[in-house]
């Protein structure tokens, strides 16, 4: 199998150089991380490649495309699976973007760490070992991109970082994990299932805005978005997908200029379609042409819309893809 490293907390150590600001920074490369976990060599033969050595907020679409291309080349050369390590701040986004472009049955597993390598109880070694074990397990095939941390296996479409520092920060609200690593063995609680990949190229992508509504929002940000060069927008609405009546005209104006997706800011559950009829409710917004995100949150909706715009998807396909992926973001359970 193949290991691709991008940096992040898993590769970070506390600085000791008095010429630099104190704090943990990425310093360990892929070979350092592998040799620090001898059990990995007992699990699989791993080819290691360093793609970058940066904190994850500095990653961009081009970096994701680079990892996607490297992973594809690895499986074409015979790798049974691929592990990518990076910082946790953006894993929920990079993993989903990789999933939109990963069209192979071989597992592509993303992992990281919540505690840097110099910290007591550093979780990076255990997470890397668990990710390798998942990547070489036949049960992981055909599931698309997976995220493995804290011995839990999550689908890229559902996983979120829900805590700033806990080693159990990654959860899949409303669905739970796909499986676990127990006594070194991956265990999945449902058959393999995924929505097919959309494209083989996730960079460059057109700019898509993400706006979260808030109490007493006056709509001025929404009005400004149309003149800032965005090709599309995602609005994280209240509850099941609602905005204040005072901002309704701004939402309508924006929807006449570009595709607008309505997601929920709650973090769990699906956008509604036929419950609330007040001005700014989901019925009103759907009538205005907004695209319901379903279970997809705003971060993932932004990426999906950007990929669809990059492939020049017509409006009916944009609606269809959000319908399919918003409904299928939860694991398929046995009856």
Where in the sequence numbering do the catalytic residues fall?
A: 9
Residue 67, strand partner residues? none
User: CA-CA distance, 238 to 282, in Å (whole number)?
Assistant: 10
Asked whether the beta carbons of 105 and 116 are under 8 A apart, the reply is: no
User: What is the torsion angle, in degrees rounded to the nearest 10, for the CA atoms of residue 78, residue 80, residue 84 and residue 85?
Assistant: -120
173 touches 268 (CB < 8 A):
yes
Pairing mode of beta strands 170-171, 160-161: antiparallel
Determine the Cα–Cα distance for residues 289 and 310; give it in Å rounded to an integer. 20
In degrees, rounded to 5, the angle at the alpha carbon of residue 87 between the alpha carbons of residues 86 and 92 is 90
Listed residue (29, 147, 171) closest to 84, CA to CA:
147
Cα 286-228-248 angle, rounded to 5 deg? 30
Q: Which two tokens stand for residue 31?
A: 């070979």
DSSP 196-225: PP--S---S---EEEEE--TT--SHHHHHH
**Helix extents (H) in 136-281:** 220-225, 248-257
- Are the CB atoms for 108 and 84 separated by under 8 Å? yes
- Please list, in sequence order, all residues whose beta carbon lies within 8 angstroms of the beta carbon of residue 277, skipping any fewer than 6 positions away: 283, 284
- Give the Cα separation of 199 and 306 in Å (integer): 12
Number of C-beta neighbours around residue 94 at 10 A = 28
Q: Bridge-partner residues for 313, per DSSP?
A: none
User: What is the DSSP pairing of strand 232-237 with strand 208-212?
Assistant: parallel
């Amino acid at each position: 199998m193949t290991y691709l490293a991008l940096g992040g907390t898993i590769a970070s150590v506390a600085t000791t150089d008095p010429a630099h600001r104190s704090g943990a920074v990425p310093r360990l490369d892929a070979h350092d991380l592998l040799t620090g976990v001898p059990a990995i060599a007992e699990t699989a033969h791993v080819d290691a490649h360093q793609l970058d050595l940066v904190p994850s907020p500095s990653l961009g679409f081009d970096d994701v495309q680079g990892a996607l291309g490297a992973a594809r080349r690895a499986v074409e050369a015979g790798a049974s699976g691929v592990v990518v390590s990076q910082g946790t701040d953006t894993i929920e986004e990079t993993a989903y973007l990789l999933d939109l472009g990963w069209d192979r049955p071989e597992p592509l597993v993303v992992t990281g760490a919540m505690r840097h390598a110099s910290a007591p109880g550093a979780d990076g070694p255990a997470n890397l070992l668990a990710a390798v074990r998942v990547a070489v397990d036949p049960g992981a095939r055909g599931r698309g991109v997976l995220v493995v941390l804290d011995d839990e296996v999550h689908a890229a479409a559902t996983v979120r970082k829900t805590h700033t520092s806990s080693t159990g920060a990654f959860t899949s609200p409303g669905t739970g994990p796909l499986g676990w690593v127990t006594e070194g063995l991956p265990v999945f609680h449902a058959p393999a299932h995924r929505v097919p990949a959309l494209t083989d190229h996730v960079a460059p992508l057109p700019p898509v805005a993400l706006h979260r509504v808030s109490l007493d929002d006056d709509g001025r940000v929404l009005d400004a978005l149309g003149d800032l060069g965005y090709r599309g927008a995602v609005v994280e609405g209240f509850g099941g997908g609602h905005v204040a009546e005072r901002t309704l005209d701004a939402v309508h104006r924006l929807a006449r200029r570009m595709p607008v997706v309505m997601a929920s800011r709650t973090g769990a559950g699906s956008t509604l379609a036929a419950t609330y009829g007040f001005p700014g409710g989901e019925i009103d917004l759907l009538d205005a042409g907004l695209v319901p995100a379903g279970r997809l949150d705003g971060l993932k909706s932004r990426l999906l819309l950007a990929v669809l715009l990059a492939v020049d998807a017509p409006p009916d396909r944009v609606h269809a893809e959000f319908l399919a992926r918003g409904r299928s973001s939860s694991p398929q359970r046995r009856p």
